[in-house]
C-alpha cells in the first residue's frame, strides 16, 4: 500500500525532562525494524512498523542520563519506502537543527534495508561538523534480545561525543561505528550486519550479459548510469560496447562501480566516457551521481567528485 504522506513531517516533540548540564541531541525517526512490533517476543520476521519516536526513547530511559532529547517523527515506514521527498525534508531539518548552537548532534533512526543510501545522501548534503549518527535494528522492538534499545543508546552517546565531530555521517549498529562512505549492509537478517570490510570475495562466476538494459534504462528516463561492474569496475564486452555507444550518442554520465564490497574502481583521467567510482559501491555511487546531476555538474566535475573519494585524495 502507498505511503501515507499525511502522517509525514508532523513535529512530535518528545516529552522528556530537561537537564541543563547535559548536551542536547535531536532524534529523527523514520521507521524500520527499530520501530517495529510483532505479535510475540519470538517473532523476528513479518512484523510491522508502528512505534513513534516517543516510544523509542521511552524504551531506553538511560538515554536521559546522557542527553536531553528532542524528537521529530519524519516518517514511519519500512526503509524501502524512503523516497526523495522524505530525504530532502530530513536533510533540511537536520541542517537547520545543527545550525543551532544549543544542539550537540543528531541521531536518525532508520530501517536497515536502505540505511546506507540515506547515510550517503545525508553525508553529501549535511553541512556541519557536529556528529550525525544513523542507527537501526535487525530485530523488532518486541523481540527477545531486541537490538534497537542498545543501538539507540549507543547512537545518542556517539552524537554527544567531541571525538565524533567532523567525521561525516556515521552508521552505528551492534557496537560498531562506521563511515557512511564505506559501510555496507552485509547480512539481510543478522544483527551483526554493517561492515566496512577490507577483503572482497575470493572470486565469482558471472554470465555474459547483453547491453539491452543500458539502452532500456536511458529510454525509461535515466540521466546517468551506474554499472555494478565486475572486479575493479569491469564491464562485459557487450555492456561496454552498448554503454560507449550510448555515451557517444547522448553524453550522459556513466559510472563504473564494483560488485565486491571493497576495493576501488580506478578513476582514469584519460578515459573519456566512463568514470570509475573509486571506493564507492554501486548504491552509494548512485546517490552521488544523482545529486551531481541535480546540481548541474558536467562530466568533468562528476569525475573530480568521484576522484575526491579516493582515500589519498588529499595526500
Ligand X SMILES: NC(=O)C[C@H](N)C(=O)O
- Residue 78 interacts with ligand X (CB under 6 A): yes or no: yes
Which residues, at least 6 apart from 226, have a Cβ–Cβ distance to it below 8 Å?
A: 255, 257, 277, 282, 285, 286, 289
Cα 130 from Cα 281, distance rounded (Å): 25
Cα 106 from Cα 130, distance rounded (Å): 8
Cα 230 from Cα 240, distance rounded (Å): 12
- Residue 147 interacts with ligand X (CB under 6 A): yes or no: no
Answer for the pair 281, 252: CB distance below 8 angstroms, yes or no: no
What is the footprint of ligand X within residues 5-64 (CB under 6 A)?
32-33
Catalytic residue among 26, 33, 109, 160: 33
Cα 30 from Cα 7, distance rounded (Å): 11
Answer for the pair 193, 221: CB distance below 8 angstroms, yes or no: no
**Which region among 17-25, 110-118, 202-210, 245-253 touches ligand X (by CB under 6 A)?**
110-118
Chosen residue from 38, 71, 131, 136 binding ligand X by CB under 6 A: 136
Give the burial string for 31-57 (b: 16+ CB within 10 Å, else e).
Answer: bbbbbbbbeeeebbeebebebbbbebb
Q: Which residue is nearest to ligand X (CB)?
A: 111
CB of 117 to ligand X, least distance (A): 11
Nearer to ligand X, 82 or 302 (CB): 82
- Residue 112 interacts with ligand X (CB under 6 A): yes or no: yes
Check if 16 is active-site.
Answer: no
- Residue 140 interacts with ligand X (CB under 6 A): yes or no: no
CB of 115 to ligand X, least distance (A): 7
Check if 39 is active-site.
Answer: no
Cα 94 from Cα 128, distance rounded (Å): 9
CB of 25 to ligand X, least distance (A): 21
- Residue 118 interacts with ligand X (CB under 6 A): yes or no: no
Return the active site residues.
Answer: 33, 112
Tell me which residues touch ligand X (CB under 6 A): 32-33, 78-79, 111-113, 136, 138
Amino acid at each position: 500500500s502507498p505511503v501515507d504522506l499525511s502522517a509525514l513531517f508532523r513535529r512530535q516533540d518528545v516529552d522528556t525532562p530537561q537537564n541543563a548540564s547535559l548536551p542536547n541531541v535531536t532524534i529523527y525517526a523514520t521507521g524500520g525494524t527499530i520501530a517495529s512490533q510483532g505479535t510475540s517476543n519470538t517473532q523476528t520476521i513479518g512484523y510491522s512498523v508502528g512505534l513513534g519516536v516517543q516510544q523509542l526513547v521511552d524504551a531506553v530511559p538511560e538515554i536521559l542520563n546522557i542527553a536531553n532529547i528532542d524528537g521529530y517523527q519524519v516518517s514511519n515506514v519500512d526503509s524501502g519506502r524512503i523516497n526523495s521527498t522524505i530525504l530532502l525534508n530530513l536533510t533540511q531539518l537536520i541542517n537547520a537543527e545543527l545550525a543551532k548552537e544549543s544542539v550537540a548532534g543528531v541521531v536518525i533512526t532508520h530501517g536497515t534495508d536502505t540505511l546506507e543510501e540515506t547515510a550517503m545522501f545525508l553525508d553529501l548534503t549535511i553541512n556541519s561538523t557536529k556528529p550525525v549518527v544513523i542507527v537501526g535494528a535487525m530485530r523488532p522492538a518486541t523481540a527477545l534480545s531486541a537490538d534497537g534499545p542498545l543501538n539507540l543508546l549507543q547512537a545518542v552517546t556517539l552524537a554527544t561525543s567531541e571525538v565524533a565531530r567532523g567525521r561525516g555521517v556515521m552508521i552505528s549498529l551492534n557496537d560498531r561505528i562506521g563511515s557512511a562512505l564505506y559501510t555496507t549492509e552485509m547480512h539481510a537478517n543478522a544483527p551483526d550486519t554493517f561492515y566496512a570490510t577490507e577483503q572482497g570475495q575470493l572470486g565469482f562466476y558471472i554470465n555474459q550479459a547483453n547491453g539491452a538494459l543500458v539502452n532500456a534504462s536511458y529510454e525509461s528516463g535515466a540521466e546517468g548510469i551506474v554499472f555494478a561492474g565486475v572486479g575493479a569496475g569491469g564491464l562485459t564486452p557487450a555492456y561496454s560496447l552498448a554503454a560507449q555507444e550510448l555515451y557517444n550518442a547522448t553524453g550522459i554520465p556513466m559510472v563504473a562501480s564494483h560488485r565486491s564490497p571493497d576495493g576501488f574502481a580506478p578513476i582514469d583521467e584519460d578515459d573519456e566516457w566512463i568514470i570509475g567510482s573509486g571506493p564507492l559501491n554501486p548504491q552509494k555511487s548512485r546517490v552521488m551521481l544523482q545529486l551531481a546531476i541535480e546540481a548541474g555538474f558536467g562530466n568533468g566535475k562528476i569525475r573530480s567528485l568521484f576522484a575526491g573519494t579516493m582515500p589519498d585524495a588529499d595526500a
